[in-house]
Amino acid sequence: MAKGIWVIIEQSKSEIRKVSLEVLSQTRIIANETGEPLSAVILGKGIAELADKVAAYGADKVYLVDDEKLENYTTGAYTSVLNKLIRQEEPQAVLMGNTAVGKDLAPRLAQRLGVGLASDCTGMEIDQENFLKFKRPIYGGKAFADVTSNVRPILATIRPNIFPVAAPDESRKAEVVNETATIDPADLRAIVKDIVMATSERPELIEAEIIISGGRGMKGPENYKILEECADVIGAAVGASRAAVDAGWIEEKFQVGQTGKTVSPTLYIACGISGAIQHLAGMGSSKVIVAINKDPEANIFNLADYGIVGDLFEIVPLLTEEFKKLKSE
Amino acid sequence: MNIVVCLKQTFDTEAKIVIDGSGNIDSTGVDQIINPYDEFAIEEALQLKEKFGGEVTVVSMGPEKAEAAIRTALAMGCDKGVLITDPGLENPDEWVTAEVLSKAIAQIPYDIILVGRIAVDFGASQVGVRLADLLDIPSVSSILKLEIDGDKATVTREIDGGTELIELSLPAVLTAQKGLNTPRYPSMMGIMKAKKKEVKVLNLADLGLNASDLQPKMTVQKFSLPTPRTAGKKIEGEPAEVAAELAKLLREEAKVI
């Protein structure tokens, strides 16, 4: 009999990813409704101290797998360890963040277990039989599919920035279970040789609360500086449209849209972006959208909460100054 | 070097999505293209072939009309195509697709399998990785750079906030991210040649499978469209005025700054 819901916690250098806490917080609400135990699973090296933290965010039980071979994420080792643990403990659902790790790990694990996976979900709820069902965007956000599975466990990855992180309750304690990793040489056929993190202090696009994005209207790579200056005042990430990326003005990793990143920030400021359907698909779920564009007919104005028809080269620097004033208040 | 590329025919990214009377996604009149991420996989395969020789086989599962996407890949320079099409495969999930592709690929010699990191229609980002597990070979998702030395590959993979350099043994599945290369357009000559290239059409029985063993693990209960957003406030005036007004509204009304 399958029991309990699991959340796989992603951490790096003993720092828990925000999306893991978002998933844990939301799953706590669901576990309260179903009365099921909620477990957190942490893989890594030197992670014992994280158990109290996930307990404070709602885990009833914490599985720790501490091994130096798990220090960096590798598909093979992580899949192997989790496959064994899930078969042994039989949870009914296993959730994680839809991050670079989640996107690689979850399908591998689902296949190893012979089960279904709901990817990149933006909604979850329980049905009459207390079983989880998920809402996930398809066609880059132009439509949604409500999905479920009658095969246990069901796996799901949850999009960052969808669910709020609950206030931690430091008085909560969890049962801690230490598991040993058995890693087969075949699990290490792909080895991480080096990790190069971008030097930017700005938040990661998919997790950013605020994004300021530039499109064709930016006119050239040198002009992204004005967006960066604004971004740094309000703690935003910088994004771009496909037109700007295809013109070679900015790296692909900054592209927002159906063929780039899908984002759901609290505030999305679109500068010189016309609003092609494939771009809107990637940012249409932002809570508040601002559009600054010279063309009053630009499609982006049809969905912007605040629209300014004007020259972004004049307006954005002035806006940066206004934000500075607000921040210094 | 023998390379397999998995390809999916998808809706054009500019297509508007419509739900028909029976609640399904309506494909009437929608332009069909090669999934854009699969184009990066095709281009990388062709560059490997140009460097090391060998053959590129394109494998796709889908309706009969997906042959058009395979023909485009052949026109770009791929050598052979395999289309798996069967009435029993009308609503596959990612598990079904991976099972079927793995059976077809097992019949083809391969050193490397390239796929797009995501299909822009269902956006699950699962099939390539599932396929690797079924074939019991390593995989790396979302690659930006690939170098091959004998039976070893060194790849750069995109992670959140940076990149990873990964060394792995071949054969392997690699999923292509935008930035890996710039896909070529089919030449006139390529289009002419593609007409004569072989596209093998297989059904489930040809792969020793039957539809009853391929019941999807996932069930779609409902498709829906997002609530349309509407235009909000237009802020007008001199640049300094509109900037001040916007900052004020973002703080006091929207409460997001």
For residue A139, the chain B residues in CB contact (below 8 A) are 11, 15, 17, 25, 120-121, 123
B219 to A197: CB separation less than 8 angstroms, yes or no:
no
Decide if A1 touches B, using CB distance below 8 A. no
Same domain, B88 and B181: yes
B6 domain residue, yes or no: yes
Put simply, the chain A residues between 269 and 298 with a CB less than 8 A from any chain B CB are: 276-278, 281, 284-285, 287-290
Tally of domains within chain B:
2
B225 domain residue, yes or no: no
Interface test with A, best of B33, B223, B250 (most A CBs within 10 A): B250
DSSP code for A285: T
Residue of chain A minimizing CA distance to B182: A246
Decide if A319 touches B, using CB distance below 8 A. yes
B220 domain residue, yes or no: no
Same domain, B29 and B124: yes
Q: How far is B3 from chain A (nearest CA, A)?
A: 19
- Domain A205-328 maps to which CATH number in 3.40.50.1220, 3.40.1350.10, 3.30.530.20, 3.40.50.300? 3.40.50.1220
Alpha carbon B3 to chain centroid, angstroms: 16
**Residue A299 β-bridge partners:** none
User: Residue B253 is part of which domain span?
Assistant: 230-257
What is the average pLDDT score of chain B?
97
CATH number of A5-188: 3.40.50.620
A108 to B98: CB separation less than 8 angstroms, yes or no:
no
By the 8 A CB rule, do A284 and A182 touch? Answer: no
Decide if A137 touches B, using CB distance below 8 A. yes
Same domain, B237 and B208: no
| pTM to 2 decimal places | 0.94
Put simply, the chain B residues between 7 and 26 with a CB less than 8 A from any chain A CB are: 11, 13-17, 19, 25
B98 domain residue, yes or no: yes
d(CA A187, CA A178): 21
Alpha carbon A255 to chain centroid, angstroms: 16
Is the pLDDT at A2 greater than 80? The verdict is no
Please tell me which residue, A2 or B143, carries the higher pLDDT value.
B143
**Residue B59 β-bridge partners:** B6, B82
Same domain, B79 and B182: yes
Same domain, B177 and B96: yes
* ipTM field: 0.95
Same domain, B243 and B198: no
Same domain, B246 and B165: no
Q: How far is CA B198 from CA A185, B58, B60, B81, B116, in A?
A: 40, 11, 14, 6, 23
d(CA B14, CA A278): 6
| Domain harbouring B113, CATH code | 3.40.50.620
Provide the residue ranges of all domains of chain A, joining segments of one domain with +.
Answer: 5-188, 205-328
Decide if B195 touches A, using CB distance below 8 A. no
Same domain, B29 and B126: yes
Q: Is B249 exposed, middle or buried (0-12, 13-18, 19+ CB in 10 A)?
A: buried
What is the average pLDDT score of chain A?
95
% of chain A exceeding 90 in pLDDT: 91
What's the alpha-carbon Rg for chain B, to the nearest Å? 22
Same domain, B72 and B189: yes
How many CB contacts within 8 angstroms connect chain A with chain B? 265
pLDDT in tens, A124-150: 999 888 889 999 999 999 999 999 999
With residue A20 as reference, give the H or E element that holds it.
Answer: helix A18-34
As given in the structure block, the two tokens for residue A136 are 């996930």
B153 domain residue, yes or no: yes
Angle, vertex CA A136, rays to CA A130 and CA A142, nearest 5: 150
Decide if A251 touches B, using CB distance below 8 A. yes
Same domain, B128 and B242: no
Q: How far is A231 from chain B (nearest CA, A)?
A: 12
Q: How far is CA A308 from CA A242, A291, B49, in A?
A: 22, 6, 51
Interface test with B, best of A158, A189, A292 (most B CBs within 10 A): A189
Same domain, B157 and B238: no
B159 domain residue, yes or no: yes
With residue A243 as reference, give the H or E element that holds it.
Answer: helix A242-246
Tell me the mean pLDDT in the region A76-91: 97
Angle, vertex CA A277, rays to CA A273 and CA A279, nearest 5: 50
By the 8 A CB rule, do A316 and A218 touch? Answer: no
By the 8 A CB rule, do A129 and A47 touch? Answer: no
pLDDT in tens, B225-250: 998 899 999 999 999 999 999 999 99
Confidence tier at A1 by pLDDT (50, 70, 90) = very low
Q: Give the pLDDT score at A73.
A: 94
Same domain, B179 and B243: no
pLDDT in tens, A263-273: 999 999 999 99
Is the pLDDT at B256 greater than 50? The verdict is yes
Q: Name residue, tokens 């607000």.
A: A326
Tell me the mean pLDDT in the region A219-234: 97
3-state secondary structure of A201: coil
Is the pLDDT at B80 greater than 90? The verdict is yes
% of chain A exceeding 70 in pLDDT: 99
B133 to A267: CB separation less than 8 angstroms, yes or no:
no
B223 domain residue, yes or no: no
B95 to A110: CB separation less than 8 angstroms, yes or no:
yes
Decide if A195 touches B, using CB distance below 8 A. yes
3-state secondary structure of A71: coil
Residue of chain B minimizing CA distance to A275: B14
